[in-house]
Amino acid sequence: MKGRARYVVAVSALVAGLTGGAALANAQSHSAAPLAGDQGQQIYQKWCWPCHGPSGPGGSRKAGTEALRNSYKGKLPAVLDERTDLTPSLVRTTVRNGTYFMAPFRKTEISDGDLDTLIAYLTRRRSSP
């Protein structure tokens, strides 16, 4: 496992270097890979990435990513943490209420404190207040 953890960090650094701070989480090799990065990234990786990360090259489609791709048809990024338009209220409402086939997340899963940290991560690149 130590080897795999090193892989994640190394590729993450590469991605960050190429994109000027793009999401570390996108470097995860799979949904159950070790969590890496700061707390907000780790919460995202644990709870969001399995559905909202990039769909895999092996045909492993992420449900949230593909649903948003079909919805936005290229007007917005399909991968959630590449978005620059997410607002705190949208993230909070979606996490606690769910939408379509996305079930809501309970406080025993994502506590209020963790949700605040997740919101800070997902809105870090927001283009306007």
Partner 1 sequence: MPPLPPGVTAQQFSNALREFGSAVGPEWVLSTDEDIRTYRDAFSPFWEEAEEPIPSAAVGPNTVEQVQQVVRIANKYRIPLWAVSTGRNLGYGGAAPLNSGTIVLDLKRMNRVLEVSEENAYALVEPGVSFFDLYRDIQERGLKLMLDLPQPGWGSVMGHALDRGVGQGPYEDRFGAHCGMEVVLPSGEVMRTGMGAVPGAKSWQHNPYGFGPFVDGMFAQSNFGVVTKMGFHLLPEPEALRLVTVTAPRRDDVVPFVNTVGYLKNAGICPASFGIRSPRNDTGYWSASLKFYGPLKVIDAQWEHAQEKFSAIAGVRFQEDALYRFPLSPDAIDGIPNKNVLGIPDLAAFGQGFVRDGRPHGYGHYFFAPIIPMTGEAMLEAQDVFEQAFKQLELPGRGPVGFTGWQRRSLISLISLPVEHDTGKAQKNREAFRGLMRIAGEHGWGVYRAPVVFMPDAMEVYSYNNHALRRFHETVKDALDPNGILAPGKCGIWPRRLREAREARA
Residues near partner 1 (CB under 8 A) are 1-2, 4, 7-8, 29-35, 46, 50-51, 55-63, 65-68, 70-71, 96-98, 100-109
> Minimal distance in Å, beta carbon 128 to partner 1?
26
* Minimum CB–partner distance for residue 61 and partner 1 (Å): 4
Q: Which residue, 70 or 128, has its beta carbon nearer to partner 1?
A: 70
Q: Which is nearer to partner 1, 50 or 88 (CB)?
A: 50
What is the closest distance, in whole angstroms, from the C-beta atom of residue 107 to partner 1 in the complex? 6
Distance CA 33, CA 29 (A): 6
Alpha-carbon distance values, 105 to 15, 74, 93, 128 (Å): 29, 27, 10, 27
Taken in order 77, 79, 84, 87, is the CA torsion positive or negative? Answer: positive
Considering the complex, what minimum distance in angstroms separates the CB of residue 19 from partner 1? 19
Residue 22, both tokens: 């793009």
Question: b/e for 14-48, b at 16 or more Cβ within 10 A?
Answer: ebbeeeeebbbbbbbeeeebbbbbeebbbbbbbbb
Instruction: State which residue, 3 or 20, has the beta carbon closest to partner 1.
Output: 3
Q: Which is nearer to partner 1, 31 or 87 (CB)?
A: 31
